Amino acid sequence: MAKGQIVAGCLAPHPPHLVYAENPPQNEPVAEGGWEQLRWGYERLRASLADIDYDAIVLLSPHWQTYVGTHFLGLDHFEGLSVDPIFPNLFRYHYNMNVDVELAKAIHDEAEAAGLPVKMMENPDFRVDYGTITTGHLFNPDWDKPLVVISSNRSTAYYSVEVMQEIMIELGKVTRKAIEASGKRVVVLASNSLSHRHFTTESEVPEDMSKEHITSHAMHLWDMRIIDYMRSGQAQRILDEMPEFTEQAIAESDGGGLSWLLSTLDVPDYPAILHGYGTIIGTGNAVVEWPCHAHEVSEA
Amino acid sequence: MSSGEVVASFVVPVHPHTVLAPGQNPGWQRLRDALDEAAQTIQDLEADLIIVYSTTWPSIIGHQIQADPNPEWVMVDHDFHDLGSIPYSFNIDAEFAHAWDEANRQRGLQSRCVNYKGFPIDVGSVVALTLLNPDNAIPAVIVSSNMYANRSETTVLAKSCLDVIKAQGRRAVAITAMSLSNRMFTDFISPDEDKIHSLKDDEWNRKILEFLEQGRLEDVGQLSRTIQQQIRVQKVVAFKPMWWLSAMNGNRNDLTGRVMAYEAIHGAGGAVVHLDPTSSGVGDKEYDEDDVEYYHGERDVLDTVEEEEVENPPTADAPNESSNGPDLWEPTEAKGSVNTTAAPKPVGAYPHARRVGDMLFLSGVGPRQPGTNAIPGGPIHDENGDPLPYDIKAQTHAVVDNVKRIVEEAGASMDQVVDVTTFLVDMKRDFQGYNEVWAETLGKVGPTRTTLAIDALPTPIAVEMKVIVHMPE
């Protein structure tokens, strides 16, 4: 069997506003557009990977929050209605998705062997979190690739960013190991924003872009600093500064997704491609691709 | 006005073990037994409304209130999905929810109702309503816990709820779905291994429960920030449920408390506590935090003047008591001076009025309320000088009322007012509203009038009047 390969790694944030603004048939609310810079960013990301063949998407969502270990969706198929509990006015999405249970179980088993607390989620009534659905839709609106969905262990809240990162770096290593052992070509997605301080009010027309901006200059500076590291191939510096970034930018990296992604990509030293940056109710969001396929040699 | 009241309050745990697996651990069963007993108590009290403040329903855009009359779905916990599923079908009092939403806006809160098929009702609410209202006989309402909310916002949320309870004459039960210490074991354990995560957490939990057993709810509320630091995983910025529950009970320390159960749920502190509003006579509160009636915090980030706030500013019935103005003085005494406790205290060394012959000259009179110093219609800016929405009509009415009290203290009457000079800090915005109130009040008496625009007044008010009265012997 050929060695599996990560063909791309992406920072793929999940604000439901982006799906709302696009008006896909699966989503009930109707918008007049909005957040185009980020939606065009997703378009560029999809175009960038259009000619790259892959078998599965591995996604870590900060909105499947688990406090007892890291969990993996463990059934072949999920469908239902996802209603965002925070922005139900924007996101009521009818989803229908397939899971690569084999790959999920492989990552689960590698993590367990490494000493991480893990569990497969096999309750058919489980409602998939809206972060997974949003990123899943924006990255692959056809839903024609199976997903591996990994929960966000909230070790930042329990311990510290440092402990979270230690766990996520280990989880990233075993994710990579399991993918390589699987023989599959995989895209890995971290579904999180950068700076994450929200507005606490919503304009009458949520997609009124005249009201959209970053919550503070400090948040902007942090977002640009992290993006510069991404674009200049300095992933290690992102990991090094993760505690300060997460604390000072109230960043959604607290969920571990970005640390896990960079570890899964073996802490890339090649430049990432910034496809788009924009704010959503004040939070900073970037669509970023690490084109692994162009930098890593397959042993096939 | 109807006389609604909170007839009981309960603290209940949030995790699904009490519904799905009580038999797997004796402690979980004791919690379940206590919840069943609480359900019976609620029924015996003939409550007609259950209000759940749930810490497992976080919100960002203000507070959200469930308003789907019959939300139905199947809840599966994100962590404990292997315990099973909880189907639910609840009886929600949508009318109360909308009234509460409106009351929130009246008190300056960001608020909205949610009524969407498939809305994911959180685990804490599902557990509470499943066990405390098993046959859905009592209509319920659920409110979120805003992740950015501070004490004043959470307190005002309770006061607006009380507004509606009183207005509708309801017999309400207030529930906080919450853990005490919320640190769970981060690894998987068998049910028989369950215990409070640490001795420190257990000691803090027992201290909180000792206070609650004594009915000292406000004391626990005032310890909220310390509790958050000591035994709470820092998922949100504050430990809020005790703020809400204390305000729902009038910020009292003399309730009749009973701890019905206290056990671990995967390491977290789960408790069922009954707080009876009957006074235990133990002691009154030592209130060392400001009370607040109206919220005027950071809620205009988008730089949009909220239309609701302009249309529904605080009213004279719900004044803001934070005057953020200069120090108050006792009125000075001199020959002919007229002073009264029925008028607001001066902000300098002067009397309320002074009589010379048959003329009475009033010092400038604003809308501040005697005793509380509250400003009907709300202050025009906060402590930092940032503008706030306010109601010029309510302020003008309050000015006229204060003038009347001083005039009558002098033995005169309003129909003897002969000349008025009015000062407005925003002529363009306020003249029309002020003029309407004038027409309804002093305009009917007929004094001469001069209206001036000025930069500012010493207190955060929009209108002040200088009045001259002719009062012949």
Q: What would the pLDDT profile of B192-237 be if each residue is shown by its tens digit?
A: 999 999 999 999 999 999 999 999 999 999 898 889 888 887 766 6
Interface of A with B in 156-185 (CB under 8 A): 157-158
Taking CB atoms and an 8 Å limit, are B301 and A117 in contact across chains? no
Strand A70-73 and strand A273-280: pairing? unpaired
What type of residue sits at position B211? F
Q: Is the pLDDT of residue A200 over 50?
A: yes
The DSSP secondary-structure symbol of B384 reads: T
Q: Does residue A225 belong to the interface with chain B, where contact is any CB pair within 8 Å? A: no
pLDDT on residue B372: 75
Classify each residue of A138-165 as buried b or exposed e, where b means 16 or more C-beta atoms within 10 Å of its C-beta.
Answer: bbbeebebbbbbbbbbbbbbbeebeebb
Taking CB atoms and an 8 Å limit, are A68 and B188 in contact across chains? yes
Share of chain A above pLDDT 70, in %: 99
pLDDT on residue B298: 55
Distance of residue A200 Cα from the nearest chain B Cα, in angstroms: 5
pLDDT on residue B324: 62
Rg (CA), chain A: 18
> Average pLDDT in the A237-266 region?
96
Q: Does residue A125 belong to the interface with chain B, where contact is any CB pair within 8 Å? A: yes
pLDDT on residue A299: 45
Q: Across the interface, which of A123, A154, A158 has its CB nearest the CB of B76?
A: A123
Six-digit token string for A264: 């899964």
At B410 the three-state DSSP class reads coil
**CB contacts, 8 Å: B73 with chain A:** 127
pLDDT on residue B170: 97
The answer to whether A175 and A149 have CB atoms below 8 angstroms apart is no
Q: What's the number of CA atoms in the CB half-sphere (13 Å) around residue A66?
A: 29
Q: Is the pLDDT of residue A180 over 60?
A: yes
pLDDT on residue B195: 97
Comparing C-alpha atoms, which of A203, A212, A201, A29 is closest to residue B63? A201
Q: Is the pLDDT of residue A202 over 90?
A: no
> How many whole angstroms separate alpha carbon B387 and alpha carbon B389?
7
Chain A residue with Cα closest to B114: A88
Chain A and chain B share a number of CB contacts under 8 A equal to: 116
The answer to whether A285 and A16 have CB atoms below 8 angstroms apart is no
Distance of residue B331 Cα from the nearest chain A Cα, in angstroms: 44
> How many whole angstroms separate alpha carbon B49 and alpha carbon B91?
10
**CB contacts, 8 Å: A86 with chain B:** 58-61
Chain A residue with Cα closest to B60: A200
CB count, 10 Å around CB of B283? 12
| Segments of chain B with pLDDT less than 50 | 1, 299-323
Classify each residue of B93-110 as buried b or exposed e, where b means 16 or more C-beta atoms within 10 Å of its C-beta.
Answer: bbebbbbbbbbbbbbbbb
> How many whole angstroms separate alpha carbon B347 and alpha carbon B459?
8
The beta strand positions in B136-249, using DSSP E, are 140-146, 171-177
- Asked if CATH classification 3.40.830.10 holds for the domain at A5-294, the reply, yes or no, is yes
Cα B260 from chain centre: 27
| CA A277 to each of CA A219, B378, B393: distance values in angstroms, whole numbers, following the listed order | 13, 41, 47
Taking CB atoms and an 8 Å limit, are A86 and B120 in contact across chains? no
Q: Across the interface, which of B59, B73, B188 has its CB nearest the CB of A86?
A: B59
Comparing C-alpha atoms, which of B160, B276, B123, B285 is closest to residue B216? B285
Strand A70-73 and strand B49-59: pairing? unpaired
Which ranges of B86-185 does DSSP label H, i.e. alpha helix?
94-106, 123-132, 151-168
> How many whole angstroms separate alpha carbon B463 and alpha carbon B449?
14
> Average pLDDT in the A166-185 region?
98
pLDDT on residue B235: 65
Distance of residue B188 Cα from the nearest chain A Cα, in angstroms: 7
For residue A152, what are the β-bridge partners? Answer: A65
Q: Across the interface, which of B61, B85, B114 has its CB nearest the CB of A200?
A: B61
**CB contacts, 8 Å: B77 with chain A:** none
> How many whole angstroms separate alpha carbon A21 and alpha carbon B396?
46
Residues of B with CB under 8 A from a CB of A: 57-62, 73-74, 76, 78-82, 84-85, 110, 114, 116-120, 122, 146, 148, 183-188, 233-235, 266, 298-304, 306-307
pLDDT on residue A59: 98
pLDDT on residue A67: 93
What type of residue sits at position B16? P
DSSP B317-344: TS-B-----PPP-PPP--TTEE--TTSP
Six-digit token string for A184: 């599959």
pLDDT on residue B305: 39
> How many whole angstroms separate alpha carbon B71 and alpha carbon B51?
15
Q: Is the pLDDT of residue A298 over 80?
A: no
| Residue pointed to by tokens 């090094």 | A240
pLDDT in tens, A14-23: 999 999 999 9
ipTM value: 0.93
Chain B residue with Cα closest to A150: B78
Tell me the domains of chain B and their CATH numbers: 5-276 (3.40.830.10), 315-470 (3.30.1330.40)
